[in-house]
Every structure is written in C-alpha cells, then in structure tokens.
Amino acid sequence: MIASLGPDLPQDLLAATGVHAGLLPWDIDRETPAADRWLESKFPRWTYSVLQDWLDGRLDHLDAVVFSRADDGAQRLYYYISELRRLGEVGGPEPLIFDVAKIGRASSAQHMVASVRKLAERLGVGEIALERGIAETNVRRANATAAADAQPGRVCLIAGTPPPDRRLHGMVERAGWIAAGETLGDAWADPGPPVEEGTGDPFAALARQLHARRADVRAFFDRAQALEAQADECGALAAVLWFAEEDDARVWHLPAQRDVLARIDIPALILTRRDWRANDGVDAEIAAFLQGGAA
C-alpha cells in the first residue's frame, strides 16, 4: 500500500496504482516527543504528528508515501524523513516526492509532465492504467459535485489557512451557523477539476490539470478575488479568516482579502498567528462574533 501527503498530487495516477490508501492522517493534539527532536518551530503541527507516527512505526504497513513539493511542510518533511532513514533513526515506508512546478511558463509545464511520468514509472503505472485511473477519478469528481447539496441557513465561510480538521467548523455550527470551507485534508484529497480523457497522452493531460490548478500556496492567482468567488458560491453571510502561526504564505494576502470582504459587506473575524489545536480561546471569539456583530 502507498499513502500520500500534500497538495497537488496526481490523484488520478495514485488511483491507477490500485493500492492508494489515501492521505496520511494526523492528530494534532497528540504528544510528539520524538518528532520534537527533529522538527523546528516553523513546521506546522500536522508534520509533528506524521513524523511521530513514522518514528513510532505506525506507518510500517505502508510501502511508500508520496510527498508533494507544493507545500513547504510536506516537502521538507520528505527530506527530513529520507535523512532519518539514512541515519538509521527510522524505518517504515519509502518516502517519494512528486515535483510540482506551477510557474506559468513552458519550462514549468514541461517539468510537470516529466514529474508525472517519473512518478508513474516509479509506481509501475503505464499509459493504459493511467487512462483508466483518469476515467475513474473523473466519475468520482462528477459524483462529488452532484452530492454537494446546499443546506438552508446562514453560512459562515472559514478561510485562510485550511484548518487541520473540523473543530473550527464545529465552533461555527455550535453558534447556530452553517460552516463552509475546506479543511487541510479536504483540500489535499480533492482531485480538482476533470482531467481530459482520450488524449493519447494521459501523462501530459494529467500534468496540464495539475499545472493549472489553484489549490495550494505555490499556485499563482489573485487570492482576494478567489475568496470573493468562494464567498459568493457558498452564499456566505460572514467569514472567519483563520491563519495558523506557522503559515507564512497565505498571510501575505490577508490585507487584500480583508478589504475584499469589507467591500462586499461580509463581516469578518480575523484571527492570525493561531494555534493549530484551536486551544487559544478561538471558540469564544467565534461564538461572540457569530452571535454578536455578524448576527
């Protein structure tokens, strides 16, 4: 079995292996004494949980884990685990990295094709299997879109750093609102828009989809505009912009996102430098916001 970790991974290719167990899970509340030895403070909390699992042997049932280069936590963890394996500090599955190139130039687009081919070769996925994987994943995409029913009620969009699980969503719901917005796991498991089928070169087709995706911190797009579109799509009447302490990428768009929400009259609770565990009084702040000013 293989697992994966990070954004912009080739879900169609992973599905085509027939042995993809999905994203590695994390528990950000757990103690991580062994991982603390190796990871510096700017690593996001979920990396500690993953490394602790690795060090504890909880991932020994896996043959390999595919990391993404499109997230700093994921890509650095790949190098750290590779080195810890070399040093004999840890065993477990083989770490692999999927190289993601997002710059809007031909050289990056071509590099992405090469990356897909390289990983496919490493995982033993040929052209026919990948074409089948694309078709199956496209069905999954279509089913997911059809199943997304809107619920009645006031919607609060949670944006900023995708939270590690649904605990922020629960806080919104306990305040009597409907919570919208992806968790980190949702975002990384999302296979994105459909991949073109029957092109004769499924590797290139998948690479084109990945190169164009706007799903991670490495993509180039206007994040204020994207937030406005997201708020519009889910019918948000309020927003919580939550940024984890270790997020040093998405925060650069906070002023523009704050301004766009003000312009479209969506009240926003802005929470920066927050603990991944949401144990810093955020529940009371969300309740006060949604039951007070935003209500």
Partner 1 sequence: MSEATGQRSRKDLACTAAANAYQKQFGIDLKRRVVDEGEPFAIVQADTPHEIFHVMDIPIITNQWWSAYISAKQLSNQYFEVMARHGFPENSCKYCSLGLACTLANDPKSAPWGGLPKPTVLVARMTCDCIQHVFGQWAEALGSEFFPMEAPAWEHKDPRWFAHSRNDWQEIYDADRIALMVSEMRDLIALLENRTGRKFDEARLHHLMERINEQEGYIWEAAQAIGRARPCPVSIAEQMPNTMIPQWHRGSDWAVDHARRFRDEVMERIASGAGTAAHEKIRLMWIGAGVWHDPGFYQALEERLGAVFVWSMYMPFAGPQYIRELHGRPMDALASRICSMNEVLHLPPWMNGWMTSEAERCGIDACVVLLPPDNRLSQSGTKITAQSLEAAGVPVLSIDADMVDAKNWNHDRMVTLVADFLVARGLA
Query: Which residue do the tokens 């190796």 mark?
Result: 38
Number of residues in contact with partner 1 under rule CB under 8 A: 46
One-character DSSP codes across 91-143: -SSEEEEE----SSSHHHHHHHHHHHHHHHHHHT--HHHHHHHHHHHHHHHHH
Using CB under 8 A, which of 34, 64, 135, 254 touches partner 1?
254
> Would you give the DSSP letter of residue 30?
S
**Cβ-based nearer residue to partner 1, 234 or 254:** 254
**Cβ-based nearer residue to partner 1, 111 or 174:** 111
267: β partners: none
**Cβ-based nearer residue to partner 1, 81 or 156:** 81
Contacts of residue 218, Cβ cutoff 8 Å, sequence gap at least 6: 7, 8, 69, 70, 71, 100, 102
Tokens of 285: 């702040």
Dihedral of alpha carbons 268, 269, 275, 278, sign? negative
Q: Which of residues 198-217 bind partner 1 (CB under 8 A)?
A: 217
* Nearest alpha carbon to residue 273 among 292, 254, 293, 294: 254
Mask of contacts with partner 1, 218-237, x by CB under 8 A?
x-x-----------------
Using CB under 8 A, which of 18, 31, 42, 61 touches partner 1?
42
Q: Which of residues 88-127 bind partner 1 (CB under 8 A)?
A: 97-99, 101, 103, 105, 107-108, 111, 114
Binding site for partner 1 (CB under 8 A): 37-43, 69, 71-72, 75-76, 78-80, 82-84, 86, 97-99, 101, 103, 105, 107-108, 111, 114, 217-218, 220, 243, 245-246, 248-255, 258, 272-273
